[in-house]
Amino acid sequence: MKNTFLTIAAVLLMLSSALTSCKEDELNLATGNDITDVSSILFRYVAKDKAGATTLDGITKTIDKNTKTITVKVAPTGQVIASIYRKVRPELTLKNLALSVSLSSGAKAYPMGDAPELGINGDWSKVNKYKVKALNGDEAIWTIKIDELSMPTLDENDYNGTYNVRGYLYHPTASRAISRVETLVKSGPYSVITNLADLGGSNYKMELTVDPKTNKVTVTAAPGAAGAPYTMLSDGLPASDPGYTPKWDGSSKCNNTYDPATETFYIRCGYKAGTVWRVVEEILTLQ
């Protein structure tokens, strides 16, 4: 019985020590009022009636806990900037960024003066201050400044980018609908190269050249492409060899033109294998 009481006493002593240690740890955490990291910088925008957000890379940050200051430089890569819809890219400035931070456990940050809310687009062309409040009420004033936003130079024209594609491939034995996402790559001031239907894996590629005055599109086989030459069929499907009729709702629109208002290509072209036509109709709309 005596040994039992001793065992119980030892267990209670251990539990008491553990609880004391936990309370000390909680107290240490409760006094933390630091910004420990700049966790992300985003560019939020609305394009084509849809909200978008791109996380910028190339972030360099200096955090000084003694002076409670953070200095940030942002130099996003071309790949990241190219993923942003080109017409909203001019809005990507220091005056229109969303910055998020990490805080000491349990702490909260409050903007001071005209500092933007964290995580929401705001003006970072100036110094912004935040009051960071610990769980126990201790406060610290932190200063954050983005002192540089370096934008890369992109090799682009008005037509390259990522497109949603739908259409139809007319084939003597394997006709099929087309639906995919395609990247159009710049090949000249007014030209882009893309896969021909779903045949890119076999090196069937077309070059689309836009006349910016008329928005008519010249379709040719890309350099080194399989199946060349490609023939434009702006007036309709071939009536012979073997002859095709429209098989989808977009067929009548495919007249080899470009609509700058909707950033959409309407393409119809074909090539012959022997004496038999293979014809592609596609509508490509920039995402």
Average pLDDT, 10 consecutive residues per value, the chain (287 residues):
47 48 54 97 89 95 98 96 89 97 97 97 97 96 97 93 96 97 96 98 98 98 97 97 98 98 97 97 96
Instruction: Name the helix (H) or strand (E) containing 121.
Output: none
What's residue 285's pLDDT? 97
213 inside domain: yes
Instruction: Name the helix (H) or strand (E) containing 6.
Output: helix 2-30
What's residue 5's pLDDT? 44
Q: Are strands 59-64 and 161-170 parallel, antiparallel or unpaired?
A: unpaired
Number of domains in the chain: 2
Is residue 215 domain-shared with residue 253, that is, in the same domain? yes
* Mean pLDDT of the chain, nearest integer: 91
Is residue 80 domain-shared with residue 192, that is, in the same domain? no
Instruction: Name the helix (H) or strand (E) containing 4.
Output: helix 2-30
Is residue 128 domain-shared with residue 203, that is, in the same domain? no
* Tokens (6 digits) for 253: 């629109």
pLDDT in tens, 141-162: 999 999 999 999 999 999 999 9
- We report the CATH number of the domain holding residue 208 as 2.40.128
**Containing domain of residue 53, as a range?**
33-149
Kindly report the backbone phi and psi dihedral angles of residue 273, in degrees, each rounded to the nearest multiple of 5, phi listed first. -105, 105
25 inside domain: no
178 inside domain: yes
3-state helix, strand, coil in the chain (%, to 5): 15, 45, 40
What's residue 49's pLDDT? 77
Contact between residue 227 and residue 236 where contact means Cβ atoms under 8 Å apart: no
What's residue 82's pLDDT? 87
pLDDT in tens, 120-137: 999 999 999 999 999 999
The model's pTM is: 0.67
Q: What percent of the chain has pLDDT over 90?
A: 84
- We report the CATH number of the domain holding residue 106 as 2.60.40.4120
> Does a cis peptide bond (omega within 30 degrees of 0) precede residue 229?
yes
What's residue 244's pLDDT? 98
